[in-house]
Structure formats: structure tokens, C-alpha cells
Structure 1
Amino acid sequence: MQYYTSPFNKEIELKFPKKITIYDTTLRDGEQTPGVCLDKQEKLEIAKKLDEFRIHQIEVGFPIVSKHEKDTVSTIAHEGLNADVLCLARTKISDINAALDCDVDGIITFMGTSDLHLEHKMHITRQEALNTCMKSIEYAKDHGLFVAFSAEDATRTDLDYLKRMYKKAESYGVDRVHVADTTGAITPQGMTFLIKELRKEINTNIALHCHNDFGLAVTNSIAGLLAGANDVSTTINGIGERAGNASLEELVMSLKLLYGKDLGFKTKIIKELSEMVSKDTGLEVPYNKPVVGKNIFRHESGIHVDAVIEEPLTYEPYLPELVGQKRQLVLGKHSGCRAVKAKLDDCGYNVTKDQLCKIVKRVKEKREEGQYINDDVFKDIIRNIDEPIDP
């Protein structure tokens, strides 16, 4: 048995779309994390690893930003990946031409649609915004691109206007519309309502681009899928502006194990993907980060360790190998005899019961003195026990 989740999950009837597309935006929105700048080789390596993971689509950059960015997008587009290669473009002909020069499979073109954005960022009317968006969609479709239209700040946009914008985009042949929760300001219940309302009006695919300002990006994404959306935007390690985006690893593993929706991804390389992005961006993964954090499969508490040694799923919802992790038993102030005995066995030491008790006592003391019990400290404890211990 590789995982064991709550049986109550199956008591609720849920309806996901038959096909779910995950498009990863680590290389575009993830790179907008303050202080992060990926070079061409780093982006290429991450894109290739995402392709190995079997991701469906990769948003690889924003080519109009710079000559270097355009060259990077073009390089990835010509790498021969199985994943569709997308890039970002404003609703400007110059941006779309830059994407065409790169030979990408498609674009995500965007415009703020909330009154907040229209008034204070772009200084245009709703009708002017609609006209500009449709011209861009028409131009991109005429040039053979896959076109997704993203309504920036969609979750704070007037509903009737949002419906009008998406319906018009659909009539212009857009392949997908994106609901961008730009400031992470919607609840799962609000997302459910919004997607159901949009589904009354449009038939084209709906994608979700959720930010994590309130820690709800993954939850909102799943709520949106259950309400009728088809596709989800993610980033590795959940990186991105402010609190980041919906985490690829959290979304994929939640769908696979909690909801029984296996999208065919090669989950065993999740940890490798996470470490690659962490190294290239310089953003350390929090120790308690779900799925990929260092502490997710580490156990110290004596009660926990005793149970985990006998059956790992007592304190793990799934086995670490599923995501490329390894289990670790950590010695510290909460360790008991069984954990210390397991560590002694790993090191090849045979001890008496009395010796074991002394070692456990010293392990606790050392940790409370502020020392981390690594292999060297542990062996030093063994050497300093009064009576000799047989190796």
C-alpha cells in the first residue's frame, strides 16, 4: 500500500471535467518573484524537467520584455518538447509578433478587467478594453496561434462585464479564457459561484490562475475545477509574486491521492524539480512545505517513530518514494528507545538494554543543550558511554 487517505473522501460525489490541463508558469509568473532572474540555460533545464514530468503546457516567458528573454523563449520553443510551449503577450500587436518570431505554440494574452485596473492602471473605459482585447485575439488567431485570453483581476471584476468579455472572446475563436485571481481575493465558495455563472454563458475551456495571498490558491483551483473549469495554472514550489501561485506539487498530489484524479504525471521526480527550481531561483523551500519540504517525511517523536517503524502510513498519508523523497528518523529530545535502537542498527552497533537507556538519555541531553544529533555527534555519544560497545 503506497498511500492511505480518509475513507470519508469517497462519501461525497464530485464531478471533475473529463480532461484537465495543467499549464505551468514557473518560468514566467514564477520568475516575477522579486529578486529572481533565470538565465537561458536554467530556464531550458527546468522546461526539459517539466517535460520529463509530462506537464501539458509550459508558459516559458514574456518575449517582449527583452532581447535575451525573446531568445530564451525561442530556444525552448525549438527544443522539441512534448509539452505545448506558450508565452505571455499583452493585447498589443508588437507583443504577438514577438511571440510569432519565437515560433511558440500559443500565447496567453491579458488585460485587467476590473474597474480598479481599468481606472487606475490603464485609464480606459470598459468598451475600449473590450475592443482592444478582441483585436488582439483576432490577430493572433489569424496567425495560427493557440490563444488564451486572461482577464486580469477577474475575481474583482463586475460579473456582467466579465461574462460579456468572455462571450465576445469566444465569438472571436479564443481557445481558452482565464480567470485570474490576481490578488488571491476569492474564497473557494466564491470561485464555485463564479465558475458556475460563467458556465451558463460560455462553452470554451476555462482556466484558473490563482494567487496564494490567503493560502487558498490550491483550494480555489480545485473548487474551480469541480464547478466546471478545465485547466489550472501552477508554479513549482508555489513561487510567484507576493505569496506566490498555486503549487504544482500540492495540486497534483491532492488531485491524485485525495480526489482520485491521476493526470499521468511522473510524480517521482517532483522532489528533483523542486530542488532544481530552488537552486536556480535562490529561494529556499520551507522545511514544512507540503510534499517537497525537508520535514515532510522526517520523524522525531518517540510515539510517532515507534509506529512508523512498524507501519509508515500510521503517520504518513503516502510513502515518500511517490514524490522522490526519503524517510528520515531524527534523533532529539522526543526520541525513544526504538528510534535510537534503529539508528544503532543502521550504524552496526550491538548494545545491551542498559547501554541503550544511557544512549537515549544522552541523546536527549545533547539536544536540549542545543546540539543537533547528526552522525558525528551520535557516534561521539556512543564512544563516551562508560562501558565498551561492540561494533
Structure 2
Amino acid sequence: MQALEEIKVLELSRTLAGPYASMLLGDMGADIIKVEQPEKGDDLRHFTPPSWNEESCYFLATNRNKRSIAIDLKSPEGKEIVYKLVKEADVLIENFRTGTLDKMGLGYETIKEINPRIIYCSISGFGRTGPERFRAGYDLLLQGFGGLMSITGEPDCPPAKTGLSIADLSTGLFAVYGILIALFARLKTNKGQLVDASLLDSQVALLNHMIPGYFATGQPARRHGSAHESFVPYQAFTAKDQDIILAIPNNRLWEKCCRALGWEDLLEDFRFVTNDERVRHRAILVTIIQERVSKWESNEIFKLLDAEGVPCGPIHTIDQVVTHPQVLARDMILEVNHPNVKNLRLPGFPIKLSDTPAIFKKHPPLLGEHTEEILRELDYKNEDIQFLKKIKAIE
């Protein structure tokens, strides 16, 4: 059994945040019906490079466990199909610009009249209220607007984006959180509701301690590269053979680290006795540690520190991550059968549930792969389907 079996999700979203959210629901058993534009499909299908046998790796990574139906939402016949799907759906996820679906007759007020129990999740860049609500929102834009880029990168370099689409992906996670809360609330009220998730809100939420930190000090957080503003040493260093991480957030671990590596002299230096002093003398201490670490092979450091329980480790490249025994032991690389991509590999399921686990059931769909199948479930006859194809309401 899966936790979300018998939950039907209608996905009207494109690119990353919405599709990522629906995929996570699909992994836990929900039936995801992905509505795509005929001929073109989800914009994510065209996000290349990288591609694999002409399939976008972005799309492949974000659309497993779904069925694709290609519908022209601007045609009356196509819209009627959506209305029929809405009647049977538990959740609708969309990420059109604010106001777009309202004009098309697919906004929340219209949809809840058709199905009062539906959970309508609206994902946007800036949210559905406020002075910026009509602005387009993309991951990079919101990493900047939401403050994330101001704290990412080296101190003496321009602001940097994260190496992945953190604004989109985190918003997808928050959207799933909101959807599950709304489904739980529906058990009590028997009514659906609007879930309004935005990239901006997600980034502000992720600033976490930096918000009260600003109000406490009057100083906004700054960029520290791989280092941490509150702990030293807590950053990357370069050993003789590779870059490594030392993550030492308290005095107990600092003492263990120094004794394990023979750095007792640092324990006797008043500048480094407490974490507050180490932060105050950050530049001096980091220079000393870097000079010493550079003379060691990384495995020598890891062996000594691991024996004392001091957090440390390598900075892996992607190829090292996907072949690491721990990653493989956690089933974090899925082997997928796909009609166009031989030996497809995808990220696995990050949450392990003992009784209702995530299960891989469907490969990332081809555009419109399930159009006829879904229409037949809605009691469309063969002649109806052929007519809809003829007028290009479906593909």
C-alpha cells in the first residue's frame, strides 16, 4: 500500500516547481495526470543541455510516475476535458502567471464551483497577493530578489547563485507540504481550499536565523564562501590531494579535532579557546589550518578524525556521488525503463517509509502518451477521440 493511493492530481504546471511537487506526490502513490500543450508540451522538455537520446534531463528527472495528456486549453473542447478531470480530482497544481487561468476560466473560483472538495495549489514567483503579484518569476530572479544570492559566494566576489535551482525545488517541497495539510484538513471539513505557494515566500522562509539575526544586530548577513558566519572552522580546506570539509560547530569537537591531528598548540592559544574567539580571529585560524591541512593526504585526516567522531569528509563531484556505496545502499539511484532512453538513471526517493514506501511505477511520459487512455476513463468514445484529434483539441 502507498499513502496517497486513490488521490488524483491534475497537473497544469510547467518547468520545475510544480512538476517537482506533483512528482513527489506521485512517488507516494497519487495518480498524476499531467496536462501538456499539444506539439510543444511542458517547457521543461526543451531545457537542454543536458539531453539523453534527445530527451531533456530536466524533464526526465522531474516527471516520473505521471501520465501525460496533451490538451489545447484555449479550445472549448479542451477546456471541457479539463472540467471533467476536475470533477474527479483531489488536487490541482498550476503555476501560470497570476490571473492567466482566471481569464481562461480555470481559476480557483471557477474550479471550486465544479468541485468544492478540490485542493487548488497555485505556484508563482511572487504569490497571488501583494504589489509584485503579476511579475513573472524564475529561479535565478527569486534567488536574487529573496536574498539568497546576497549570502552565496566568496566575500570578495560578486553574488552567486546556488549550483541547483533551489528556489524552484524548495517551493515544490513547500507546495507538497501545503497540499498534504489541505488534504488532512479536508478530512475534517469535507471542503477543499486554495494553497498559495511562491518562490519568494520559500526563499524568505529559508533565510531562517538570518532574519532575527538582522533585527537583533542591524547588520545583514554577508557572504562567507564555504564558511559559516557562526562557527569556525566550518568550511572547505584543500588537502594535499583534494578539497575536504571540516565541520566543527562547538568547543568539544574543536578539542577532539586538535588532539587527533596533533594541534595541541592551538588549544593553548587564547585566540582559539572558544568558538566566539575563533570566529573573532577567523582569518588567522583559517590560514593556520589551511597551511597544516595542505601537508596531509585527505584519507589520513579522515581516518584520524572519524575515529574521534569529528565531522569531516570529501567534496564529491557528481560522478563520485552517484557511485558511492552509501548512496547506492540507500537506493538513491533508480534504474528506469524508458521507451527512448536505454539504461535511464534518475535520483531515487529521499524518504524511506517502512509501511507505505515510495514506488517507481511509470517512466517520465512521452508527450500525450496517455491521452487516449485518460479520455476513455472519462467515457469518451473512439469517435469522440478522433474528432478531438481532428480539430486539434488534443494530441
Q: What TM-score does the superposition give when structure 2 sets the normalisation length? A: 0.30
Larger relative contact order (Cα-Cα within 8 Å, sequence gap ≥ 6): 2
Higher helix share: 1
